[in-house]
């Protein structure tokens, strides 16, 4: 069995004690992290290595930043940015080969406020991702694309759909772009095995959203057909959201047969 987890940590340096605690307790084979918010040289590679993980990072100062952690050797880093626009320097995509699986850690743009260049950037980024997924599918590889997609795919993924309907995470154009990607042949691992509504991966720091369970499901693991054939379990680990000094996201995981 191989377990793959995704977690937006909202700064790896601010969150390092919790990340190390989480790695020690849940021992995922592969961890895909987002919003590391540090340049590559500042990533705590030694600390993460001490608890048994190899590291590949695509970082930048202050914003964004993604990482792949793996118990197995990382054999190749296939990309440090999302292909399709060499002028886009935002560190939101890293793709690596480890343990016989191709994985990507994705931090898809938030896109708020709608009607600005930020929303245009989000939709353009999703179009680029669509193109790249088509390329990946043509390889017939086993791959898992995990990340903070900043997309709540359906109303069932939102605590108050009416309050969120105009938000960039829920807009019809956003959800259409999401479906366009998934319908190429990917599987939303959590949703495939857990049909019940009202299960979230992110809760705003503001307004006591966590204690009221007012969240959204925006962190996802998208599986290729070959990975889906091996999918046995998926879940959301709510515990880290309740820890002291938490990220506003909590880990989502899936298990594949060896």
For DNA, which residue of 17, 25, 49, 63 counts as binding (CB under 7 A)?
63
Kindly state the smallest distance separating residue 92's Cβ from DNA, in Å. Answer: 9
DSSP letter assigned to residue 13: H
Q: Which is nearer to DNA, 17 or 100 (CB)?
A: 17
Residues sharing a CB contact under 8 Å with residue 9, sequence separation 6 or more, in sequence order: 15, 18, 19, 33, 34, 35, 36, 247, 249
Give exposure, 148-175, as e/b (b: 16+ Cβ within 10 Å). bbbbbbbeebbbeeeebeebbbbbeebb
Residue 163 sits at φ, ψ, to 5 deg, of -70, -20
Nearest approach, Cβ of residue 178 and DNA (Å): 17
- Any idea what DSSP says for residue 229? T
Specify the DSSP class assigned to residue 112.
Answer: P
Residue among 74 and 106 whose Cβ is closer to DNA: 106
Q: Least distance to DNA from the beta carbon of 202, Å?
A: 8
Q: Report, in Å, the least distance between residue 7 CB and DNA.
A: 14
Are the C-beta atoms of 81 and 93 separated by less than 8 Å? yes
Interface of this chain with DNA, residues 192 to 231, rule: CB under 7 A: 205-207
For residues 76 and 85, which CB has a smaller minimum distance to DNA in the complex?
Answer: 85
Give CA–CA dist 201/251, Å, rounded: 7
CA distance 169 to 163: 12
Considering only residues 7, 32, 37, 177, which one is a binding residue for DNA as defined by CB under 7 A?
A: 37
- Residue 46 CB, shortest distance to DNA, in Å, is 17
DSSP 109: -
User: Which one of residues 61, 131, 134, 179 is an interface residue with DNA (CB under 7 A)?
Assistant: 61
Residues 64/35, Cβ–Cβ less than 8 Å: yes
- Closest approach of Cβ 20 to DNA, in Å? 15
- Cis, bond preceding 51 (omega within 30 deg of 0): no
CB of 258 to DNA, least distance (A): 35
Q: Which of 112, 194, 226, 239 binds DNA (CB under 7 A)?
A: 112
Rule CB under 7 A: say whether 110 interacts with DNA.
Answer: yes
- By rule CB under 7 A, what string of x and - marks binding of each residue 131-170 to DNA? -------------------x--------------------
In the complex, the residues that contact DNA under the rule CB under 7 A are 10-11, 13-14, 37-38, 61-63, 109-110, 112, 118, 150, 205-207, 245
């Amino acid at each position: 069995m191989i377990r793959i987890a995704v977690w937006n940590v909202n700064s790896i340096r601010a969150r390092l004690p919790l990340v190390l605690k989480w790695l020690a307790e849940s021992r995922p084979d592969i961890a895909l992290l987002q919003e590391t918010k540090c340049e590559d040289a500042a990533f705590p590679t030694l600390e993460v290595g001490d608890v048994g993980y190899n590291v590949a990072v695509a970082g930048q100062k202050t914003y964004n930043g993604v990482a792949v952690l793996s118990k197995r050797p990382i054999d190749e880093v296939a990309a440090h940015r999302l292909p399709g626009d060499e002028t886009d320097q935002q560190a939101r995509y890293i793709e690596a080969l480890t343990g016989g699986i191709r994985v990507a850690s994705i931090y898809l743009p938030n896109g708020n406020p709608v009607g600005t260049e930020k929303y245009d950037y989000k939709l353009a980024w999703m179009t680029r991702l669509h193109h790249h997924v088509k390329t990946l599918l043509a390889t017939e590889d086993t791959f898992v694309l995990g990340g903070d997609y900043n997309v709540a795919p359906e109303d069932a993924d939102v605590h108050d759909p009416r309050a969120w309907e105009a938000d960039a995470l829920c807009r019809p154009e956003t959800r259409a772009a999401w479906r366009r990607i998934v319908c190429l042949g990917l599987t939303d691992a959590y949703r495939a095995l857990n049909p019940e509504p009202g299960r979230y991966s992110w809760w705003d720091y503001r307004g006591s959203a966590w204690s009221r369970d007012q969240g959204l499901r925006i962190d996802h693991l998208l599986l290729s057909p070959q990975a889906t054939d091996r999918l046995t379990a998926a879940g959301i680990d709510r515990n880290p959201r309740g820890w002291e000094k938490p990220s506003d996201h909590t880990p989502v995981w899936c298990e594949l047969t060896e």
